[in-house]
Amino acid sequence: MSETNPTTDDSTRRSTLNVLRRTFLATGSIALLPGLSDQRTASATTSVIQSMTPGDVPLDKYIENPELVEENQEPGHVPTIPYPSVKSALNQDRVNKSPLQRWRQSPHFESLNGDWNFHWALNPANAPSEFDGTDLWDTVTVPRVWQADGFGHAMYRNITLDLYPYDPPNVPNDINPVGTYQRTFTVPNSWTEGRRTFLRFDGVKSAYFVWINGEYVGFDKGSMTAAEFDVTDNLQPGANEIGVQVFRWSDGSYLENQDMWHFAGIFRDVSLYSTPNAHLRDYFLQPSLDSNYKNGALHVDAEIANYGDSADTYELQTYLFDPDYQPVKTASKTVDVPADDSAGVSFSIDVASPAKWSAEYPNLYRVGFELRQSGSQSATEAQLAKFGFRKYEIIDGQIHVNGEPVNFKGVNLHEHHPKFGRTMAENLRREEFERLKQFNVNALRNSHYPRGPEFYEFADEFGFYVCDEVNAETHQNPDLVNEYPAFHTQFMNRFRRMVQQWKNQASIFMWSTGNEAGLGPAHFHMAEYIEGGDVDGDGDAGAGVDPTRFLYHQANNGGVAPYADVIGPRYVSPSDLVDIAEDEDEQRPAVMGEYNHAMGNSLGLVERFWEVIEEHDQLQGGFIWDWVNQRLDEDYTITPDATEYGNDGVFHGEPTVVNTDAGDPAIELSGLDDWIEFYRDPSLDITEPGLTLEVEVQPRQPWTGSDAFLTKGDHQYGLKMSDESTLQFFIYDPEEEWVTVESTVPDDWYGNWHHVVGVHTGSELQLYVDGKQLASTPHDGSINHNPQPVNVGRNADKHRANWDGWLSNARYRRAAIHDRGFVADELRLNRSRPDESTVLWLDFEVFETDGTFRSYGVDPFCCNGLVDADRVPQPELWQLKKAHQPIRLRGANLTAGLVEVTNHYNFTDLSALDVHWELCEGGDVLQQGALDVALEPNDTTTVEIPFDQPEFEPGADYWLVVSFHLAEDTWYADVGHEVAFEQFEVPFDVPTPTLELVSEMSTISVNE
């Protein structure tokens, strides 16, 4: 691929190829737009789409084939929603702050969000093979993960995947949930006359197929990046039908091994937009500043597509507007575009003294494009985009923004809603950005996947430095990138699409090539794609699409890669940071990728971290792990215990109430993180010999890696299957550890009901199935105490965040625990009620739901945020705000009222803030006042607090509090919001209080 310098005024012609599969050889930087690039970078494998129904899809060729990432997709590009004119686009931009709100006002855009018909199946074999009978289906909301509508199972995992078994690129057949969506929509007549229509999905997990009016359209498994399909030839005027079939797991899931809740479904927006046959298909806005950071220029690389049958000449009229919507400049370029092809055009616009973008002052310019046929006065379409004049550089081992060294006071950020899972409501998104700004956060790491349009627009508008990260984590096997080269295409496709979709965002300063995904050829090729050159020395140079931003890599090797411009130490101590700063062999800027794990009562060292950071230029901050607690609000459903102890069972996940063939109620556990939990009660803490566990259970296939029927963790007692064919009853003896009795399961084990009992008689362990003793083991010792709760369907010790497998795949119609050992004759009785030895008795006949509870799934390790899931601050967030505050105050001569002030803002003079002071005696304010402090960024001065020396109270403490506040209302906080403060104990020479001798005190008498 050519890598010549950017052109400034020449258009670039392209060869004529099928518009659905354009492959162009190009020259100049304009060639770096995907629609104009060499097909060697593409991942779709065919240009001819075969007709097929959902029932015809050869799934193994699609969802177990990592080299097939997409089919019939448009090359990645920035959002290009057309408007009738730049004026109409500007009007919508003024009043609608989210992209979707603005786009909805265009006559060329239609949102497909809303109610869809929906069918959920546990596996592909039970999924619909046609889109008929949809009026009998259920209804769900799009966008939303299907778990939020009550279908399927949300699963939390950390290091391990949520699928089983781990066997890349294969996925399970018997359990791989499928969601089939269908709805109708109306297409205006004007959309089908001389125009093209594109269908856009902003996010679907994990793999999906699309049909329009029964015709197969295409396929995608990019998951966290948008996919677009040209559906022009599939549409008809008026009513149309769309069908989407989504598979929870595909080979792409092996790259989605993030520490988070795992969901499925259409979780981001779905939309249609219509373009004229001549369409501004993509553009790269590249703002720059001169060496003095005073004057700027906007360089534009644009691709004009011509979907028509004849060549034509088009004029691209460009309008530049300042942050107040005032016109700045216009430019016009003419380009010849062949039929059924596209062409590129490049040009630059100089701007004198532009308002610059930074996290402190996020000034955004608007650029409007109008495309028209040459000589015509009317536009065929108009588009509007935002950008900021800013310059990211590394100078003397430090990251600079617009010439100033910046510290990144960041957090790692997941998309998580307590009710809707991965789908973020706009009001919660906006509240989140407000909260981040209020607590002195200026940087965000998209851990560990790209976001939808709304996130990037808010980050640009509200002022945050963003590290955008490819959706590629393989934590369960960090060497997958080397062991399975077939995934190379998929790694690259995800990275390429992320970059091409969000290349115009002012906030993005760094591209991350992955998290906890090892280091291999794919990562080096990502680096070459951004920076150009032959990074890995294989003789194949990369495209070099965006050398203006930095590269970052977050493998579990300390957060370094040879190509990374910025190193990202992970979970280091403050002293480790000092070692990095003093390492003469490492001169790259250091921004911690993850640090100071914010779980529970945490962040104790955050102040020390920032003292070290501010002492060393090379250290430039980091991203706390992490921002939000990932808890879910689940229905609080119990099944009552029939004993006097009230050990009611609480549903976790989605246990299902079913009827047996005999009509009796039972509980069905799917294996996908369903279980019943009993909160700890002394009655269940049996530690002396004499114990009986019993369940009536119908084991099911497939084997899920575990069937913990009834356990109290792994270190007290339990009745379980130790493998697919072995039944086990165990106790944990503090001296002997695990003592077990095992037996091979009966021939009729799976699919039939069995009465399974484990008995500790005091002298031996006995195992029974259907009244027949299968095995015994001597034991006369004690049973260990374990704090874990009793569970049906789960082992609370083993089945946690890093469990490699699923849980119990079985049905239950009784579970009981007795604090004595039953004899054989008792086990043969058809007992229908508990006796005096029973401490737990569930017959699963009654179920009561009362409100919700806060669920963390199999492990509270997902609850490590600075804010709760509803974005209410945790106590440690106040500590982070203090450590991040942009103003440092130190006592100089406190008794004289002298305080040293350092302004750590990069672009803000302290005269922009109000300054308050108080002199206190204990908790009482004695004096207070205001100060005028004018101090330029990155400067230090000493100010005098004009207090009068008070009359000292013997033995009293005196405190000086100095605080800085917003001087006016902002989008994120009202006037008076505290930005920074410091409290000093003033070392006045306070008289010592007179001591009273005990001998002189009056006596005390006590009368009872």
**Catalytic machinery residues:** 516, 594
Which 3-state string (H, E, C) describes 958-980?
A: EEEEEEEEECCCCCCCCCCCEEE
Rounded distance between C-alpha atoms, residue 286 and residue 341, angstroms? 25
Please give the Cα distance from 527 to 511 (Å, whole number). Answer: 9
Structure tokens at 743: 């037996």
Task: Calculate the CA 912 to chain-centre distance.
Answer: 35
Q: Strand (E) positions, 754-796?
A: 754-760, 764-769, 772-778, 790-792
CA–CA dist 406, 463 (Å, integer): 14
Q: Which is it for the CA torsion 220, 223, 225, 231, positive or negative?
A: positive
d(CA 365, CA 919): 45
Q: How many CA atoms lie within 13 A of 408 on its CB side?
A: 34
In whole angstroms, what is the distance from residue 932 CA to residue 910 CA?
A: 9
The tokens describing 332, both together, are 């016009």
Contact (Cβ atoms closer than 8 angstroms) between residue 277 and residue 308: yes
- The token duo for 523 is 């990562």
Tokens at 389, concatenated: 């004049």
Asked if 282 contacts 305 with a C-beta cutoff of 8 angstroms, the reply is: no
User: Residue holding tokens 């890599």?
Assistant: 553
* Sheet with 737-744: strands ordered across: 737-744, 726-733, 717-723, 707-712, 790-792, 675-678, 649-652, 632-639, 848-855
User: Are the C-beta atoms of 346 and 334 separated by less than 8 Å?
Assistant: no
Asked whether 348 and 333 are in contact (CB, 8 A), the reply is no
Q: Give the residue among 975, 901, 967, 885 at the shortest CA–CA distance from 933.
A: 901
The amino acid occupying position 416 is H
Tell me how far apart the alpha carbons of residues 825 and 606 are, in angstroms, rounded to a whole number: 64
Report in angstroms the alpha-carbon separations of 600 from 516, 596, 863, 864: 24, 11, 8, 7
Directed axis angle between helix 606-615 and helix 875-884, to 10°? 10
Residue 31, token pair as written in the block: 């060639």
Q: CB under 8 Å to 861, separation ≥6 — which residues? A: 158, 259, 599, 800, 801
Residues 36, 28: Cα–Cα separation, whole Å: 11
Q: Name the amino acid, one letter, at 306.
A: N
* Residue corresponding to tokens 């536009």: 379
Residues listed for the chain = 1008
- Calculate the alpha carbon distances from 354 to 72, 321, 402, 457, 620 in Å: 42, 11, 12, 20, 27
Q: Provide the edge-to-edge strand list for the sheet that holds 195-201.
A: 109-111, 270-276, 195-201, 227-230
553-577: burial string, b at 16+ Cβ within 10 Å, e else: bbbeeebbbebbbbbbbbebebeeb
Residue 900, CB-side half-sphere exposure with 13 Å CA sphere: 7
Report whether 494 contacts 471 (CB < 8 A).
Answer: yes
List phi, psi (to 5°) of 317.
Answer: -95, 130
